[in-house]
Amino acid sequence: MSKNWNELAERMAELKDLSSVIGLLSWDQETVMPAKAGNSRAEQTATLQAILHERLSSPRLDELLESLAGDASLNAAQKASVRNLTFERNRATKLPVGLVRELAETQSRSVEAWRAARAAKKFSDFAPFVERLLKIRQQQADLWGHSGERYDALLQGYEPGMSTARLEPLFANLRQKLVPLVKAIAHAEKRPDAGFVKKSKWSVDKQWKFSMQLLEAIGFDLEAGRQDKSAHPFSSGANVWDVRLTNRFDEADPFSSVFSALHEGGHGLYEQGFDPALHRTYATGAPSMGLHESQSRLWENLVGRSLPFWRAYAPKLREHFGRELEGVSAEQLHGAVNLVQPSLIRVEADEVTYNLHILLRFELELALIRGDLKPKDLPGAWNERMKSYLGIVPPDDGVGVLQDIHWSWGEFGYFPTYTLGNLYSVCWMEAAEKALPKLWTEVERGNLIPLRDWLRDNVHKNGYIEHAEPLVQRVTGAQLSEEPFLRYLWKKFGPIYGVHAA
Amino acid sequence: MSKNWNELAERMAELKDLSSVIGLLSWDQETVMPAKAGNSRAEQTATLQAILHERLSSPRLDELLESLAGDASLNAAQKASVRNLTFERNRATKLPVGLVRELAETQSRSVEAWRAARAAKKFSDFAPFVERLLKIRQQQADLWGHSGERYDALLQGYEPGMSTARLEPLFANLRQKLVPLVKAIAHAEKRPDAGFVKKSKWSVDKQWKFSMQLLEAIGFDLEAGRQDKSAHPFSSGANVWDVRLTNRFDEADPFSSVFSALHEGGHGLYEQGFDPALHRTYATGAPSMGLHESQSRLWENLVGRSLPFWRAYAPKLREHFGRELEGVSAEQLHGAVNLVQPSLIRVEADEVTYNLHILLRFELELALIRGDLKPKDLPGAWNERMKSYLGIVPPDDGVGVLQDIHWSWGEFGYFPTYTLGNLYSVCWMEAAEKALPKLWTEVERGNLIPLRDWLRDNVHKNGYIEHAEPLVQRVTGAQLSEEPFLRYLWKKFGPIYGVHAA
């Protein structure tokens, strides 16, 4: 047994090193790689991925995993490694090479087609690609296996342990309760004033410095990570000692880089917080994308868009932008970063409307996978739901059904993780508030470390020993429900907009 | 045949991708990697190196190389790939795993010991490590094979095709002719004045900008490469579309970053200049380290320390440092960057004395490998030669025999490539001058592109189809000799110091 475990550990180390290097190549490509190196980078990445796949498909790995699968002498972390690697292996090996290649080729053609269709604002040019991607993904789902609901098989790739049967009622309840709040706010007479933002140009250098201060403030270890610039902010962790964040800076908007720093910083804290003892095993990492997102949303929204945070950090922002912020109070800043407004574009949506964008996508992609909706009927279904959930209709497909890249990659099943992240984030925060009675007093003094430490001990260090939902339940005692999130929204936005739950 | 070639080509592509990624990991480590990621980076690199070694040792690769070895239907580039990969494979597979591991472990311990000994200025603490490294390297040489001269087997790792029998008389002649020039200059009454350097602080930002201008001026493609900062300047090329240079900036010295940019830029131009058709084969790359060095030295010394260059670039440097360079002419700048002075440290040595530092090391390491010199006797032998070649004796081992890192890695056979680089550089330049009668007129106008293009067509694009010496001979018609280099030194330094050949 112990000999088999040691052999597995060696193989895991190699697999993890390969994955981490593939991640670094991707970081490099998005941040520093010379423009002309794109093709050669694709070659390098494909070579490493082929080697990773070869290693993952090795019959010896299968033997080892089988021999260790029921081994009671393994500890919890070792059992989790066996479970998680078995899952990875099955996902990789159950698909015939031909299907993998077909997906890869269709993906790269679809992305091109999507870009062109979006520019032309014409969904019908893109519809045949959705058709083909759907077919491939449905085949994949059948090969991976499911009990009648193909969407479940896809969902496992992003949110292991979650099911459509759990999501559907949860999201329906959430939608039902969000729509009245959105309406109440839309008709509110009280509205924050963010007019000061447009009056100034906001130096990119100063924004950079403030974003670095924020990363330090949340306790992101800059000796075990870094921040760079890229076209779209993202985070990527090779291991707890090497976590890389990116940000984007806009002269017209000082807040975009603030919230990206907090968002990616939240992901980054998670990556830095895994138990180092799990390094190079399959028990490190996040149990799901939703759980990862719960960490970024917690720092971005629950902390970064709170009044105590701005009481502490308005003066620090003012050190960089004294002239631009003359006469703007912490309360005004807090209002300005909490504008709620039904809008067309998901990535620009506020906390209240954001999840409606997700629920809409979830409903549509579930119907597509089930075969209840034809790709050609997507724009109509999209616009109808926009009208019903948010009260607005996109003037064209470019700012409607074509706005996100996800479907062009065939990523059906990904969107729900965003909303799960929002729901989980409030569970964590409510538990942290109970455990740390002075949490918000400390935040108001600018001290974010007690919260970071609580998250590290209760969330991060667990890695991927349990699945997401059981972990949240064990630590917070909360059942997955829309209630805590709704409670949070009303408590925060009620006073800002002078609205009350019916 | 063609089928075998295609299979070999696939394997080469994979091997080359792995090597290029290992190179990128090393660049990343030296430039941007978070401080705490050192151990995990060592793991990642070791994993990729083990995979590379596994692929290189594959019996199938051996079959393919054997089947193609005498194949007359291959073109020159294909033949070169077969020859070069066979060489690589033999170097990798002729050593037992135990010896490879012993070397790796001894190396990492030796480097530590060397750092400590250098700090303590005490060679005797380091001597036992030299002893052990020597034994391992002698064993390696015997396993690789040689005809009585072990140093030859080591030399092949850096300068394939070169032999000790060729180097010894060449370097003896060079030494004999350099010593009188050094003496003549040491006693010259005329000396350039570099006093202006110490009078100012030289902004690092401005140095950075000027170094980027220089890289553009020599035709380094910044869309297929980049410059970053690192503790020690170096260059590294993943392929012709991704070449990375580093530089170091010193507020007390504006020239160090200028010559590093030209030096690393020279390496970088070479890396960008290989025929793209050779990509992912073993016919791309430089045929030897000496030949690579000939490109860096050509730009650093033959161009960058020439009067025409400073006539063109003094005004451009003045755009950044107008105040600091007030009243300093192009001629004075040219003098200041051509100070000749026997000194203790190789990496700070001028063009005239530099090779004496190398010859000394070559003689000592050859004697070590032959067993004619005991490691414990190194400091004495070192100091004796310093006295005889340069007329100075190190006050301690730290600035004497312990100054270079090379021997702590067991890199015996590396040093000669520096001097070969200097000798080859003048061969290239004399040929370029013949081919381009207006070369120096163009340089004086700031136009360095004709020279870049000549080098690209005549040196760079050849890659590693021929060995270094045959390539130089074919293109320039010159036999490898100390004469062109000496001619160059006298022609340049004679007027600066008012000295004449006897």
CA distances from A393 to A125, A346, A348, B147 (A): 21, 14, 16, 83
Q: Facing residues of A236 across strands?
A: A244
Is beta strand B235-239 parallel, antiparallel or unpaired with respect to B242-247?
antiparallel
**The CA-based dihedral angle spanning residues B331, B332, B333, B338, taken in that order and rounded to the nearest 10 degrees:** 90
pLDDT tens-digit readout, B1-22: 589 999 999 999 999 999 999 9
Q: Closest partner residue to A43 among B17, B225, B226, by Cβ?
A: B17
Is beta strand A225-229 parallel, antiparallel or unpaired with respect to A242-247?
parallel
Q: What b/e string do you get for A285-305 counting C-beta neighbours within 10 Å, with b at 16 or more? A: bbbbbbbbbbbbbbbbbbbbb
Return the closest-CA partner of residue B256 out of B315, B292, B214. Answer: B214
End-to-end CA distance of chain A: 61
Mean pLDDT of A418-440: 98
Instruction: Give the tokens for residue A133.
Output: 């991607």
Contact A240, A276 (CB under 8 A): yes
Distance of alpha carbon A198 from alpha carbon A31, whole angstroms: 29
Instruction: Give the tokens for residue A422.
Output: 């929002």
Distance of alpha carbon A321 from alpha carbon A329, whole angstroms: 13
Task: Please indicate whether, in this complex, the C-beta atoms of A280 and B43 are within 8 angstroms of each other.
Answer: yes
Quote the minimal CA–CA distance from B344 to chain A in Å. Answer: 36
Long-range contacts: B405-408, Cβ < 8 Å, 24+? B405/B111, B405/B114, B407/B114, B407/B130, B407/B133, B407/B365, B408/B107, B408/B110, B408/B111, B408/B113, B408/B114, B408/B126, B408/B129, B408/B133
Residue with structure tokens 């970024």? A296
Quote the minimal CA–CA distance from B278 to chain A in Å. Answer: 13
Q: What b/e string do you get for B382-393 counting C-beta neighbours within 10 Å, with b at 16 or more? A: bbebbeebbeee
Q: Facing residues of B243 across strands?
A: B225, B237
Contact A287, A471 (CB under 8 A): yes
Instruction: Give chain A positions within 8 Å (CB) of B13.
Output: 43, 47
Q: Closest partner residue to A34 among B25, B224, B279, by Cβ?
A: B224
Mean pLDDT of A44-53: 94
Residue A201: its pLDDT value, please? Answer: 97
- pTM for the model stands at 0.95
pLDDT tens-digit readout, A72-130: 999 999 999 999 999 999 999 999 989 988 998 999 899 999 999 999 999 999 999 99
In single-letter form, the type of residue at position A135 comes to K
Contact A138, A130 (CB under 8 A): no
Chain A, chain B: beta-carbon pairs less than 8 Å apart: 103
- Phi and psi dihedrals of B246, rounded to 5? -130, 165
Q: Which residues does B contribute to its contact with A (CB < 8 Å)?
A: 13-14, 17-18, 20-21, 24-25, 28, 32-37, 39-41, 43-44, 47-48, 50-51, 221-226, 228, 238-239, 241-243, 279-280
CA distances from B233 to B207, B219, B247, B249, B413 (A): 14, 19, 5, 10, 22
A276: Cβ–Cβ under 8 A, 6 or more apart, which residues?
A240
Quote the minimal CA–CA distance from A251 to chain B in Å. Answer: 23
**CA-CA-CA-CA torsion sign (B26, B32, B35, B37):** negative
Task: Please indicate whether, in this complex, the C-beta atoms of B20 and A36 are within 8 angstroms of each other.
Answer: no
Strand, helix or coil for residue B449: helix
A264 is catalytic: yes
Residue A271: its pLDDT value, please? Answer: 98
pLDDT tens-digit readout, B64-109: 999 999 899 999 999 999 999 999 999 999 999 899 889 989 998 9
Instruction: Give chain A positions within 8 Å (CB) of B37.
Output: 224, 238-239, 241-242
Instruction: Give chain B positions within 8 Å (CB) of A44.
Output: 17, 20-21, 238
Instruction: Give chain A positions within 8 Å (CB) of B228.
Output: 32
Instruction: Give the tokens for residue B470.
Output: 């045959």
Task: Please indicate whether, in this complex, the C-beta atoms of A238 and B44 are within 8 angstroms of each other.
Answer: yes
Q: Closest partner residue to A223 among B35, B225, B242, by Cβ?
A: B35
Instruction: Give chain B positions within 8 Å (CB) of A48.
Output: 17, 21
Residue A2: its pLDDT value, please? Answer: 85
Instruction: Give the tokens for residue A237.
Output: 């962790």
Nearest Cα residue in chain B from A50: B14
Top-confidence range, A192-196, B40-44, B296-300:
B296-300
Instruction: Concatenate the DSSP letters of all residues of B162-182 into one string.
Output: --HHHHHHHHHHHHHHHHHHH
A143: Cβ–Cβ under 8 A, 6 or more apart, which residues?
A94, A95, A96, A99
Instruction: Give the tokens for residue B322.
Output: 């107008």
Distance of alpha carbon B253 from alpha carbon B231, whole angstroms: 15
Instruction: Give chain B positions within 8 Å (CB) of A243.
Output: 34
Count other Cβ atoms within 10 Å, centred on residue B227. 22
Task: Please indicate whether, in this complex, the C-beta atoms of B34 and A225 are within 8 angstroms of each other.
Answer: yes
Instruction: Give the tokens for residue B244.
Output: 């990375």
Residue B135: its pLDDT value, please? Answer: 97
Quote the minimal CA–CA distance from B133 to chain A in Å. Answer: 29
Distance of alpha carbon B55 from alpha carbon B152, whole angstroms: 27
**Predicted confidence band at A221 (pLDDT cuts at 50, 70, 90)?**
very high
Q: Would you say residue A479 has pLDDT above 60?
A: yes
Q: Would you say residue B500 has pLDDT above 90?
A: no
Residue A1: its pLDDT value, please? Answer: 55
Instruction: Give chain A positions within 8 Å (CB) of B41.
Output: 242
Total residues found in chain A within this entry: 502
Q: Would you say residue B124 has pLDDT above 70?
A: yes
Mean pLDDT estimate for chain B: 96
Q: Which of A10, A63, A105, A264 is catalytic?
A: A264
Task: Please indicate whether, in this complex, the C-beta atoms of B241 and A36 are within 8 angstroms of each other.
Answer: yes
**Predicted confidence band at B436 (pLDDT cuts at 50, 70, 90)?**
very high
Quote the minimal CA–CA distance from A223 to chain B in Å. Answer: 5
Mean pLDDT of A178-190: 93
Task: Please indicate whether, in this complex, the C-beta atoms of B34 and A238 are within 8 angstroms of each other.
Answer: no
Task: Please indicate whether, in this complex, the C-beta atoms of B24 and A20 are within 8 angstroms of each other.
Answer: no
Distance of alpha carbon B42 from alpha carbon B223, whole angstroms: 29
**DSSP tag of A95:** S
Mean pLDDT of B238-252: 97
Residue B1: its pLDDT value, please? Answer: 55
Could you give the percent of chain A with pLDDT greater than 70? 100
**Predicted confidence band at A218 (pLDDT cuts at 50, 70, 90)?**
very high
pLDDT tens-digit readout, B375-396: 999 999 999 999 999 999 999 9
Nearest Cα residue in chain A from B38: A241
Mean pLDDT estimate for chain A: 96
Q: Would you say residue B502 has pLDDT above 70?
A: no
Instruction: Give chain A positions within 8 Å (CB) of B33.
Output: 242
Quote the minimal CA–CA distance from B191 to chain A in Å. Answer: 44
**DSSP tag of B389:** I
Q: Which of B159, B264, B271, B482 is catalytic?
A: B264
Contact B347, B361 (CB under 8 A): no
